[in-house]
Amino acid sequence: NDIFQDLDAVCGSRQALYAFLSRLFERELTEEIIKELQEKTEAMAQLAPLKELGNKKLNEGLMNLESYLKESVSKPREKVTEALSVEFKGLFLGVWGSPDHPSESEYASGSREAEEKRKQVKEIYQSVGLDKADAFTETDDHVAVELQFMSYISKETIAVAKSRDQEKAL
In terms of Cβ atoms closer than 10 Å to its own Cβ (0-12, 13-18, 19+), residue 103 is: buried
Dihedral sign (CA 62, 66, 71, 72) = positive
pLDDT score of 43: 66
Q: How far apart are CA 116 and CA 63, in angstroms?
A: 37
Q: How far apart are CA 90 and CA 84, in angstroms?
A: 10
- The pLDDT mean for the chain works out to 85
- Count the alpha carbons within 13 Å of 93 in the hemisphere toward its beta carbon: 11
Percent of the chain past pLDDT 70, that is, above it, reads 95
Strand partners, 142: 103
Confidence (pLDDT) at 144: 93
